[in-house]
Amino acid sequence: MAAVIPAPWRRWLPWALGVLGVLAALGLQTQLYSGQVRTVATIFMFVALALSWNLIGGYTGYASFGQVVFFGLGGYFAAVTMTHLHWSFWLALPLAGLAAAAYAALIGVPLLRLRGHYFAIATLGVAEGTREIVINLDGLTGGGGGITVPTVGAAAATKYLGNDGFYLVYLVLAVLALLVTGLVSRSKFGFAMRAIHQDEDAAAAVGINTTRTKVLTYALSGLLTGLVGATYAFQQVTIYPERLFDVEITVLMVVMVVIGGSGTVLGPIIGAVALQFLSEWLRQNYTTVHTLLLGAIIIIAVVLLPQGLVNYLREARRNRDYSLLANVRRYRL
Amino acid sequence: MSAVPVLETRGLGIRFGGLKAVDDVSLSVPEGLTLGVIGPNGAGKSTFINLVTGHLKPTSGSVLVDGKDVTGAKPWVIAQSRVARTFQIVKPFRGMTVRENVAVGVLYGPDGTGRMSTALKQADEILGEVGIADLGDRPPGELSVADARRLEFAKALALKPRLLLLDEVMAGLRPGEIEPSLQLIRDLKARGMTIIVVEHVMKAILAVSDQVLVLNAGQRLMLGPPREVLSDPQVIEAYLGHKYATRQAQQSEAAAAAEAAEAAEAAAGEAATASAPHCHQREARNPTPTPRPALSMRRWHQMLEVKNVSAGYGRVQVLWDVDLTVAANEIVALVGPNGAGKTTLLRALSGMVPIREGSVSFLGQDITGRSIERIVDLGISHVPEGRRLFPGLSVKDNLRLGGWRNRNADLDRVIELFPKLGDRLSQVTGSMSGGEQQMCAIARGLMGKPDLIMIDELSLGLAPVVVEEIIGRLADIAASGTAVLLVEQDVDAALTVAERAYVMETGRVVMSGNAGELLADPRIQQSYLGIA
């Protein structure tokens, strides 16, 4: 596709596509009824989450299996400040993101010294531990009984946004995550992330401050995840630790990125849209077995396209070989 | 030239547990010097590079670059002070093009730019310098071995280094590919760059080095002009073993004496005395010089026959057309310098590395391409380099695991060979000395009563006394019905105990024959040290 467009314009192609995408999303909203708006908003939410996991897990190669900790932390930050301090959501939202980023940097300094599955397990442990802390700070967080953000009356600094409002907020967050990813992937910083993913020793040997790069990336990833978590908390009104620190949220982020293609701009978007859409469609049409079917489809996708759809297409085009069997063989050694 | 050395190390050392991998190395490298660093396996060469470039933190001593103390600094700090390195195993950034690989170094190097277009342009210039300008758009995975090495060079040059450390940039190259790399080093040298070359290819060391540093067991053994160093008895000893060096010294003394005698036109009687030590020595080596008459009878059947075998890893071909045979009850030594392909050959024979061409037959059966466990079943046992015991298990459990092939294998038989193990059956193997561990590894290899045992680097990290003790058992092992194929650094020890031997060099068998004759052949030393 890119080949038919003159070179000077090609630079602007992603921007043009992005603007078109946003316009389409806004247009789509007018055509949907309320329940569907909510479903599509959830898709945007997962697009933003998948893109933010992709920064640390995809580009930098540090599989953060405790990514939900930033989601939960952002959510609780917003809920607690809105409830106890009566902050406006528009103040709580950015600060929740910053709090999550600061937490990411704090735990990142020790954890990012670990590599591979050691890092994955350690982040998982931090997420579980943080949830326990949130449960035990029940004066502040309501503990296991949850906390309810005031959405009506005098106590509510910000009125509940409703399906249409959250649709827009999630869309903005998805676009923000996309912008960050797009800029990072082309920048000097993005090169450092990819170099670290490939070989950390070699990256350090060409002058890359690997510690700083990793911690910054983790903070950036935590920031975006925290923003989404804060929005989710407000959307849910009442939140519980079990739900906001649910491992399944991390798993979904990982699966979406892996299926779409990790370390790419488009991969997480495709993965998130495809998986959420499929999941919803199966739920409506095959209610009783929908998780079974979804699981089977995920397994098949991961077996056939272990590198993800976008990376597969890229390699297939280069090798002029679209055979899935050859692809499986290449990755199974 | 500035008076301050580009690199200085003072008492530099690092310990891994009890092992001093680099021990008290002091060195001063003035600007513009090309320093070759050599040493046998495990001498600490790569560790030395890792210490200088910050990839390892020294446990003692200090590193100074341009007079500035950088001990313990992070690798990127060292890189920014214009010290660049290559890696022994090439480390390209996959998923980036070749051009981008080099651009990363330009972006993050000491003259770091934020402009992508500038970085990519400079990357192209550097690719041109190393001679792969046309490959900029390719992914590094598609490069040939030689081109991947050049990319490694280019990535280092992207830092505009003053000091360049090259870790085995010739490894895996074919003879014809070595010359362009040497030319590249010469060009950089002509530009005044200070270069440290760690290399096994002695020809390369001789071609480019102004000075050669020899490391042995982590210590600085010697520093001097290349030819002087390579013909020094201590260096010969480090590479070929103590006895070999001694004999070589005696031989050259004898030769010198003979020459002197001839020059003086002395009486015939005197000349005879001069050559006497030579004869005497051969007798000393083999106290019963009577050839074993049964041998030729026994060799009616070649138990192991390796024909035209080629093998390698990925696109790196390591073995080229190797022929080798081992007869029943025979001890055969396989010697040659580092990187000659000895370990790869053993791994190919035991099925761990796929054989690309040629065939291997064992006891009349074609075993080419058979699985590892099948080959073990058929009676080939492999004692790998570094022993690879199960360190958390007891000696007894380790031995019993070796009896996989033959569940009824009797412990008593191997303990009879290595009585020391009998006292330590319940000890955890990881806590034993290196020598005991090696005994345990060999004993484990013998548990299944194999027809052939292949032992890789028997003496690695062991004291000479221990080596002698273990080597002494090989004859018993052969006599008990298990032939031995021995890969060994200590050439003298190996050739003394073996009946026949093969000498490998850069993946090929270059000499073979009677072990005793090979021992006296000066070409062996040449293959290790580049000069005789």
Q: What is the pLDDT of residues A131-141, one digit of tens each?
A: 999 999 999 99
Res. A315 pLDDT band, cuts 50 70 90: confident
Res. A4 pLDDT band, cuts 50 70 90: low
> Average pLDDT for residues A176-183, to the nearest whole number?
95
Nearest chain B CA: its distance from A70 CA (Å)? 29
Nearest chain B CA: its distance from A311 CA (Å)? 10
Residue B43 is assigned to a structural domain of this protein: yes
B178, B199 in Cβ contact below 8 A?
Answer: no
Burial code (b: 16+ CB inside 10 Å, e: under 16) for B164-188 equals: bbbbbbbbbbeeebbeebbebbeeb
What is the percentage of chain B residues whose pLDDT exceeds 70?
91
Res. A1 pLDDT band, cuts 50 70 90: very low
Cβ distance of B79 and A205 shorter than 8 Å: yes
Q: What is the tens place of the pLDDT at every residue in B294-324?
A: 444 444 468 999 999 999 887 788 899 999 9
Range of the domain at A149: 37-260
- At A282 the pLDDT is 93
**3-state SS, residue B511:** strand
> Average pLDDT for residues B113-118, to the nearest whole number?
86
Res. B286 pLDDT band, cuts 50 70 90: very low
Mean pLDDT of chain A: 93
- At B126 the pLDDT is 96
A152, A159 in Cβ contact below 8 A?
Answer: yes
Residue of A nearest to B161 (CA): A206
Alpha carbons B91 and A195: distance in angstroms, whole number: 10
- At B189 the pLDDT is 94
Touching check for B404 and chain A: CB below 8 Å?
Answer: no
Touching check for A112 and chain B: CB below 8 Å?
Answer: no
Residues 6+ apart with CB under 8 A from B315: B144, B145
Alpha carbons A160 and B221: distance in angstroms, whole number: 78
Residue B355 β-bridge partners: B311
Provide the CATH number for the domain around residue B503.
Answer: 3.40.50.300
- At B530 the pLDDT is 73
A127, A66 in Cβ contact below 8 A?
Answer: yes
Q: Of A256, A230, A216, give the one whose Cα is nearest residue A83.
A: A230
Cβ distance of B76 and A192 shorter than 8 Å: no
Residues in chain A: 333
Residue A24 is assigned to a structural domain of this protein: no
Residues 6+ apart with CB under 8 A from B469: B435
Residue B146 is assigned to a structural domain of this protein: yes
Alpha carbons B200 and B173: distance in angstroms, whole number: 12
- At B264 the pLDDT is 65
* Contact residues, chain A, for B53 at CB < 8 Å: 205
State how far Cα A29 lies from the chain centre.
22
State how far Cα B95 lies from the chain centre.
32
Nearest chain B CA: its distance from A49 CA (Å)? 24
- At A332 the pLDDT is 65
> Average pLDDT for residues B141-159, to the nearest whole number?
91
- Inter-chain Cβ pairs, chain A and chain B, closer than 8 A: 88
* CA distance readout (Å), A300 to A303, A315, B133, B331: 5, 19, 42, 54
* Contact residues, chain B, for A191 at CB < 8 Å: 96, 100, 103-104, 107-108
Cβ distance of A188 and B114 shorter than 8 Å: yes
Cβ distance of A205 and B112 shorter than 8 Å: no
* CA distance readout (Å), A83 to A141, A154, A229, A243, B111: 10, 12, 16, 18, 51
Handedness of CA A244, A250, A253, A256 (dihedral sign): negative
A249, A53 in Cβ contact below 8 A?
Answer: no
* Contact residues, chain A, for B47 at CB < 8 Å: none
User: Looking at per-residue confidence, does B214 or B313 come out higher?
Assistant: B214
Given a cut of 50, is residue B289 above it in pLDDT? no
Alpha carbons B258 and B46: distance in angstroms, whole number: 43
Residue A3 neighbours by CB distance under 10 Å:
5
Q: Show the CA angle centred on residue A291, arms to residues A61 and A229, nearest 5°.
A: 50
- At A3 the pLDDT is 56
Last residue of a domain, one of B240, B275, B309: B240
Which 258-277 residues of chain A touch chain B by CB within 8 A?
263
Cβ distance of B75 and A201 shorter than 8 Å: yes
Q: What is the tens place of the pLDDT at every residue in B406-437?
A: 766 778 889 999 998 988 899 888 888 888 89
Cβ distance of B96 and A194 shorter than 8 Å: yes
Q: Which region, left, alpha or beta, applies to residue A230 given φ > 0 means left and ψ of -120 to 50 means alpha?
A: alpha
Given a cut of 70, is residue B22 above it in pLDDT? yes
* Contact residues, chain A, for B158 at CB < 8 Å: 206
* CA distance readout (Å), A200 to A109, A147, A184: 16, 43, 18
- At B33 the pLDDT is 96
> Average pLDDT for residues B442-468, to the nearest whole number?
88
**Domain count within chain B:** 3
User: Looking at per-residue confidence, does B152 or B255 come out higher?
Assistant: B152
DSSP character at residue B18? T
Nearest chain B CA: its distance from A186 CA (Å)? 9
User: Looking at per-residue confidence, does B76 or B240 come out higher?
Assistant: B76
Given a cut of 50, is residue B520 above it in pLDDT? yes
> Average pLDDT for residues B210-227, to the nearest whole number?
93
Residue B2 is assigned to a structural domain of this protein: no
Nearest chain A CA: its distance from B500 CA (Å)? 39
Cβ distance of B53 and A205 shorter than 8 Å: yes
Q: Pairing state of beta strands B380-383 and B365-366?
A: unpaired
Residue A146 is assigned to a structural domain of this protein: yes
Strand order in the sheet with B219-224: B83-85, B163-167, B194-198, B34-38, B211-216, B219-224
Q: Are residues B232 and B263 in the same domain?
A: no
Q: Are residues B300 and B278 in the same domain?
A: no
Residue B1 is assigned to a structural domain of this protein: no
* Contact residues, chain B, for A186 at CB < 8 Å: 116
* Contact residues, chain A, for B74 at CB < 8 Å: 204, 209, 211
Which 202-231 residues of chain A touch chain B by CB within 8 A?
202-211
Touching check for A61 and chain B: CB below 8 Å?
Answer: no
**3-state SS, residue B27:** strand
Burial code (b: 16+ CB inside 10 Å, e: under 16) for B3-29 equals: eebbbbbbebbbeeeeebbbbebebeb
* Contact residues, chain B, for A263 at CB < 8 Å: 95
Residue of B nearest to A187 (CA): B116
Which 100-159 residues of chain B touch chain A by CB within 8 A?
100, 103-105, 107-110, 112, 114, 116, 119, 139, 155-156, 158-159
* Cα end-to-end span (Å), chain B: 35
Cβ distance of A207 and B105 shorter than 8 Å: yes
Q: What is the tens place of the pLDDT at every residue in A253-287?
A: 999 999 999 999 999 999 999 999 999 999 999 98
ipTM rounded to 2 decimals: 0.86
Q: Are residues B276 and B397 in the same domain?
A: no
Cβ distance of B95 and A198 shorter than 8 Å: yes
Q: Which region, left, alpha or beta, applies to residue A102 given φ > 0 means left and ψ of -120 to 50 means alpha?
A: alpha
- At B274 the pLDDT is 44
Element (H, E) at A238: strand A238-239
Q: Are residues B315 and B215 in the same domain?
A: no
Cβ distance of B105 and A192 shorter than 8 Å: no
What is the percentage of chain A residues whose pLDDT exceeds 90?
80
**Domain count within chain A:** 1
Residue B333 β-bridge partners: B486, B501
> Average pLDDT for residues A145-163, to the nearest whole number?
90
* Contact residues, chain A, for B116 at CB < 8 Å: 186-188
Alpha carbons A299 and B345: distance in angstroms, whole number: 40
DSSP character at residue A32? S
Q: Tally the C-alpha atoms within 13 A of residue B475's C-alpha that lie toward its C-beta.
A: 10
Could you tell me how many helices (H) and strands (E) chain B has, helices first? 22, 20
Q: Of A268, A259, A267, A274, give the one whose Cα is nearest residue A306.
A: A259
Burial code (b: 16+ CB inside 10 Å, e: under 16) for B93-116 equals: bebbbbbbbbbbbbbbbeeeeeeb
Res. B280 pLDDT band, cuts 50 70 90: very low
Cβ distance of B91 and A198 shorter than 8 Å: yes
Q: Are residues B200 and B277 in the same domain?
A: no
Cβ distance of A204 and B76 shorter than 8 Å: yes
Residue A272 is assigned to a structural domain of this protein: no
Residue A313 is assigned to a structural domain of this protein: no
**3-state SS, residue A60:** coil
B252, B264 in Cβ contact below 8 A?
Answer: no
A308, A264 in Cβ contact below 8 A?
Answer: yes
Nearest chain A CA: its distance from B90 CA (Å)? 9
- At B490 the pLDDT is 81
> Average pLDDT for residues A203-225, to the nearest whole number?
97
Range of the domain at B271: 242-285
Residue with tokens 């090439």: B90
Torsion angle of the four alpha carbons B50, B55, B61, B65, in this order, in degrees rounded to the nearest 10: 80
**3-state SS, residue B251:** helix
Mutation for testing the A interface, residue in B52, B53, B107 having most A CBs under 10 Å: B107
> Average pLDDT for residues B50-77, to the nearest whole number?
95
Residue of B nearest to A314 (CA): B95
| Tokens, residue B355 | 């054989």
Touching check for B10 and chain A: CB below 8 Å?
Answer: no
- At B407 the pLDDT is 67
Given a cut of 70, is residue B387 above it in pLDDT? yes
Touching check for B420 and chain A: CB below 8 Å?
Answer: no
- At B265 the pLDDT is 56
Q: Pairing state of beta strands B163-167 and B194-198?
A: parallel
> Average pLDDT for residues B54-60, to the nearest whole number?
94
Cβ distance of B103 and A191 shorter than 8 Å: yes
Cβ distance of B76 and A188 shorter than 8 Å: no
Q: Are residues B401 and B459 in the same domain?
A: yes
B338, B481 in Cβ contact below 8 A?
Answer: no
- Amino acid (one-letter) located at A40: V
Backbone angles phi, psi at B480, to 5 degrees: -80, 5
Last residue of a domain, one of B206, B240, B274: B240
Res. B140 pLDDT band, cuts 50 70 90: very high
Select from B87, B109, B116 the Cβ nearest to the Cβ of A202.
B87
> Average pLDDT for residues B115-142, to the nearest whole number?
92
What is the percentage of chain A residues whose pLDDT exceeds 70?
98
A305, A327 in Cβ contact below 8 A?
Answer: yes
> Average pLDDT for residues B226-245, to the nearest whole number?
84
Mean pLDDT of chain B: 86
Select from B91, B92, B155 the Cβ nearest to the Cβ of A201.
B91
Select from A186, A203, A207 the Cβ nearest to the Cβ of B109.
A207
Q: Of B468, B472, B469, give the one whose Cα is nearest residue B484.
A: B472
Nearest chain A CA: its distance from B79 CA (Å)? 5
Res. B103 pLDDT band, cuts 50 70 90: very high
Residue B169 is assigned to a structural domain of this protein: yes
* Contact residues, chain A, for B79 at CB < 8 Å: 204-207
Backbone angles phi, psi at B369, to 5 degrees: 80, 5
Question: Which runs of E-coded beta strand occur in B378-471?
Answer: 380-383, 452-456
Res. B98 pLDDT band, cuts 50 70 90: very high
Residue with tokens 């890696």: B87
Touching check for A11 and chain B: CB below 8 Å?
Answer: no
Res. B293 pLDDT band, cuts 50 70 90: very low
Burial code (b: 16+ CB inside 10 Å, e: under 16) for B514-530 equals: ebbebbbeeebbebbbb
Alpha carbons B348 and B358: distance in angstroms, whole number: 11
**3-state SS, residue B13:** strand
C-alpha R_g of chain B: 25
Q: Are residues B319 and B412 in the same domain?
A: yes
Residue B220 is assigned to a structural domain of this protein: yes
Q: Are residues B260 and B373 in the same domain?
A: no
